[in-house]
Structure 1
Amino acid sequence: MTDSVRADALLADLPREGRGRLKVFLGAAPGVGKTYAMLQAAHGQLRHGVKVLAAVVETHGRSETESLLGGLPQLPQLRSEYRGVMLEEMDLDGLLAAAPELALVDELAHSNAPGSRHAKRWQDVQELLAAGIDVYTTVNVQHLESLNDHVRGITGVLVRETLPDWVLQEAFELVLIDLPPRELLERLRDGKVYVPEQARAAIDAFFTQTNLTALRELAMQTAAAQVDADLAHGYRTLGQDAPALRGRLLVGVDGDSQAERLVRHASRVAQRRHLPWSVVHVDNGRLRDETARHRLQAAQQLAERLGGEVVVLRAGEVARTLIQHATERRASLVLVGQSRDRLRRRFYGAGVAARLLRESHGLEINVLDRDEAQPKPSRVVDASEWPWRHYLLALVATACATGLAWAVSSVLALPNISMVFLAAVLLVAVRSSLGPALACAAMSFLTYDFLFIPPNFSFAIQREEDVLTLLFFLLMAALTGNLAARQRRQVQALRETQEQTNQLLDLSRKLTAATDGKAVFSAASQHLDGWHDVQACLLDRDAEGRLQVVSGRAVQFSDNERAAADWAWQHDQAAGLGSDTLPNGRWWWWPLSGEGGTLALLGVRPREGQPLTPQHRRLLKALSQPLAQALARARLADQLEAARLHGETEQLRSALLASVSHDLRTPLTSMRGSIDSLLALGEAIPQEDRRELLEGTRNEAERLDRYIQNLLDMTRLGHGGLKLARDWVAPTDIVGSALNRLRVVLAPLQVHTDVPADLPLLYVHAALIEQALVNVLENAARFSPAQGRLELSVSVAQDELSFAVADQGPGIALQDRERIFDMFYTATQGDRGGQGTGLGLAICQGMIGAHGGHIRVDDGIDGQGTCITLCLPLPAQPEMDSETP
């Protein structure tokens, strides 16, 4: 590394002196926990004596985030009116005046209200950093400017609030906050990210499994790029090159017979050395036959199946390109094949290996010997491959150039006439290949000598300077023809590559939104239907193992075609039209394979009896890889979902069995003991004791009945069997009925009720609301102390009617309040601690939620115990019929 590079790296750090440090909490999507992590880090700084000030923190109504924010000093927001709407923004001047050591500024990509000093919040942050204030902030990866189009292509949503990438690159520290997409979707459905209405719209529009997975990968790539940049910068300040911490194996392949052997050898070497590896093909524009292209594509597909990365580079010099790519990827080992026998087709050979050894520094170069035992395949040359028409073009072009040169020979000097022949050579080179261009150059050379070099009509040359002129003409003709022919080959290769890339990109976009096998087949069908010159379909096996069409138009296959399809499926090789297996059919079958075998069959039939071109085969093979990966991903997702459901089912079954052993056995044991005492002692038991035993038996029977009723209600809720028979009912009737049912349970407590007489009517299923209130009252009574106070109040506020039950029990911890409504969950301490099945409150939430309401958990009486509030929406009241006199 040069001293200037080191000096630049050192100077890049100088502006950081005296500036604040920026710490960015990066996430893939809203709801992953960026703000929560930022607040936790701020609490850690506060405990170390750092002066922290929360400038702007968006909690979005999340209780756990609000609880963390409550313990931090906060800066009041500035309120401004814009078009009749009150907006709140960060008080930048107030924050600068307060001069904290650390400021919390949420949502870095936020656009400020019109009239603010800066249009974007990240510009406010830059001013804070310039003032020497450290800043903690959050941002989602879709807000990066460089990823805007990429995110739009993935999600279909244009993100309008963006920030430049350099803002993130200048961050002193970048923290990736990651959450698996399934957990984020569960949080979204539970209302922990948005309110239920917004959550449903978000899931349908943006928060899909595929979108979140793609955004998660972008976030990880962004974080990895930042780590890599920090590592390289650190070594530049030391005047050293960043080391290859893990190393990488690069293997150079071409379309020869040793390509697949070289790939397999590279895979084994990578496994032994525990290295990631890449298969690199350098395309220098040379024209290759179809056999070489098939071999190259087969080697690339083999590398992908073996876990390698496929890279295609376009350059003229192979060895130098490989070295440059190895440096960029920090590779430690380069593997190439031995030279070939024929110089004209040499690509990776002794020359490349020698240049790699000579020009590389610090790289390990391995050369794999050729397999001499393998016989060389004899190539049958088809007459159609010999380009007679191109050589005919060379002859016609020479004749036309000769006529034009003869016509202008009287007005142009002799050296200028040679330009006419050079133009003919260039024309042939552009329209054909190198061979016809050289032939045109040779014929032009002879014609120019015979007709225009004195003595005319003779190949003899009198003047020495004419010999030099002819030699230069021949040299220039050969060079320009070679250059033009190479340029034409490169253009052809680029066109084919562009077409293949466009097809792959189009298919990938369609497969991005596919979450299951049917969606994958549908996306593939939409893509293949756009091919007008071929008919395509996809086959899969049904439950009985028979092949059936799952995508494309319904077609009838002959026995021969079905046999070819079965063979292709079983042997994981191409079969049918144009192949070596059952080639007499009308369809060509290509298996879409994964690690577990064939996943589906791609069938292609040329229209109007045309043969399937090699270009179509290459493109179909290239498209089969993302199709197979999408199918494998969909099947893996189905398996994971089935495994998750199975695990949850087993967990619920275990919890149910455990609860049955407690909540059924306990009352049954008490009832059996009372009955045994009555049978054994009979009349010897005093009347009051006998009555007490009978009342205890009745109470335990009622408790058992309520438990069984809870199980039945939970079953109906889970299977959608809960029918809402709504009717207008007075809240006082619900309260009175619930208290009457629990008069024995509530007898040891001091029950206070506050039920106004002028309450509006509820349009609800009265029995369900009563059962929900009974469950809450019973839960409060169970954990209240003897002679404890229990308050039941009914109130109306903001189009809601609320039933509030407060007790003086041990209370529920903050971290457990979000989970007490889960089935079979019991808190470790406080209310529900270690008792019951945890079904009562879960049923309450289901019943209240079915009516469009919600449940809130707060502190109890005088800050002690728990207060559970059932909130129900109030509809428009019915019109009361007035009595006529």
Structure 2
Amino acid sequence: MQAAARGDGSSPHGRLRVYLGAAPGVGKTYAMLDEGHRRAERGVDVVVGLVETHGRVHTAALLEGLEVVPRRTVLHRGATLTEMDVDAVLARRPALVLVDELAHTNAPGSRHAKRWQDVDELLAAGVDVVTTVNVQHLESLNDVVEAITGVRQQETVPDDVVRRADQIELVDMSPESLRRRLAHGNVYAAEKVDAALTQYFRVGNLTALRELALLWTADRVDEALAAYRREQGIDEAWPARERVVVAVTGGPETETLVRRGARIAQRGSGGELLALHVLRGDGLTGVAPDSLGRHRALVEQLGGSWHTVLGDDVAQAVLDFARGVNATQVLVGATRRRRVAAALSPGITARVIQGSGDTDVLVVTHEEAGRGVRGHGPRGVLSVRRVALAWALAGLGPPVLAALLRAAGGIETLPTVLMLFLALTVGVALVGGLRPALLSAVLGGLLGNFLFVAPLHTLSIAEPRNALAIAVLLAVAVGVSTVVDLAARRTVEAARARAEADTLTAIAGAVLTVPETVPAVLEQLRESLRLDGVALLGRSGDGRPPARWELRGTSAGDAPTGADDATATVPVDDDLLLALRGRTLAPQDVRFVAAVGQQLRAVVERDRLRSEARLTRAERERGEMRTALLAAVSHDLRTPLAAIKAGVTALRSVGDRISPADRDELLADVDHQSDRLQHLVDNLLDMSRLDAGALAVHADPVTLDEVVLRALGAVPEGAVDVDVPEELPLVHADAGLLERALANVVENAVRHSPPGRPVRVVAQEVPDAVVVRVVDHGPGVPDDRKDRMFAAFQRLGDAPRGHGLGLGLAVAQGFVRANGGALEAEDTPGGGLTMVLTLPLPGRGPGGGA
């Protein structure tokens, strides 16, 4: 039914399932094939797009009963390679296709460079895909894997490709079990087992790779959990892992809180520390930026992350953030307010506890607790509670004051009464602003007139001075209330402006220090405004209305995919638009987003200029290379051609009159010049492949002594002394490329060695590597030219014209790097140059398969 439903060409995007393993041999391919059989038994149309069995009997047995799409044949450098036939799979149009080794690099000439790109095409066509990948092939872990194993992976897949999978299943196995499986011959052939066990499959390597796989999968599961909670509108925390949010003010107690939070987060594996600083708009933002910088550095040093949000209600901002990140604990400091202030109004700590729900709140005491808040200006925010209190004072204060004056007796003279009512009005203005104060003034004036101005108990005023006194009361009340209200609003605006400036400063810092600038800025904007998601959209099409906006591949959180999917949009310029999803923004928030948008516009323009500069620089370098190539080809290629032409012409014109000895000499010269020409052309082709990034590496375990002997095939007898022990461990490399690299290095050394001083080729094993030294006693190379000698078209100072294009060492270094090794130059003791070729063990590492 699935296949039939997808036959109309309008099917939805296919679903991707990934089996992730820590190392080869854990059973990824086996699990994938087993899944294929289960699906087929349920009636799903399943085919095998490509599976690598690597000679494993149990894996090959699982292929029986499944339809296998024939592979596509590719010819490359005389070798026949096979790859998945994407066109055949699309023509077959199955419901599900099994594709092994997601990180594989396709053979040159394939439609896509990488197999994961083939998989993307299948998914876009509506075909479901089940695939496999090892954790060491994830791009973000490349450096970590190299540090653990000493091997830099050449075949990688972007993390985002795997993270986009609808399902990721970890295929796990203990290091001891995997080593037993390897020893029993269930992973590699018998002749490779010993080398694998002592190199790549060491217990330490496998344990570290297993931990990487578990942690990476845990992060992916956490992302899926967060997405589910967002979709279902679940606000309460689900404590799947220890995630500690530390609410910090930037005050002197911050360091104590952060260190306590770090200790709690480190109690269990996978715990996270998140430090949260709320930039509030109530005038209490008097923390010095350098203090926040020191605290942020401390958090990052302890392995945590620093987060900043904007919020007038600090307690609510802390709780919203904690629920958003699914925190298990919130750490807050004991209040610094004195006992009287704490008794009059609950502080932030108490309000966090009251609203925490299922989230645990830990109150941490510190030296500043109870000492009072120092260095802050007056409060300027008219909170809801404060305004309500002001209305209550305005409505009840004048009647109560009037009753007290009547009860006291003897002090109810008009000046005294009006002064007391004025004092009450000013107090109401200070608490609640203009409108409650106006109510207090009007009530005070009416009650004063009714109860204390003759004629009593009427609203009539007999004397003009009494009317003037009441009018002055109302005027003063209005004036004082207006000033207080204006001051409060200006304080709020100034405080918010400072908070926004601090946030913009943090964003500017991210622009300068974070490699992926645009995503970092969007994430900072999302956190600051407590939004669900933010995306940067770009205009598509021809620019004519109606405008169409598409995601530029840059977003943060649960971001909208287009303008129609956003809660709000803020234009950046004619071609960029910020799309926001989440709460409704206030006008001042929109202005803040617009300011961030201008920074993003500058970043995008900077990135564009950098890209253009890189392209210009690359084009200039290619131009310089073409110029050097023409200069070199004009002589070096014509020299052997001229010699060949002269020899052939002589043989054709007067060959019957030439003596056999001369004829043999001419033929030998033609043969020698043909070899030189072939060598020059090979180097040119190799250099062009290296420059284009089209070099294909097919690594296998090889014996170094055999490669060295083949590389010396064209070297004159007696020109090289070889000391390469047969018992050296196998290196994992492309034997052909390694042979060419050694041949070029040795040929260069022989050319520059003096007569009677043969070149020495010595190999030895060092920790985690095999080192080959090619030692000559020639003129050597100055230190300042050692790096330049590996550039294309560089000749050593004493190399005459006609002895190559200066490509030999450049090609050799490119081939060695392609095999995961390094080629460097050192001085030979006593004079000369030593080329040091280092090949890591176990090479690229055994790869592929499950």
Using structure 2 for the length normalisation, give the TM-score.
0.45
Q: Which has the higher contact order (CA 8 A, sep 6+)?
A: 2
Using structure 1 for the length normalisation, give the TM-score.
0.43
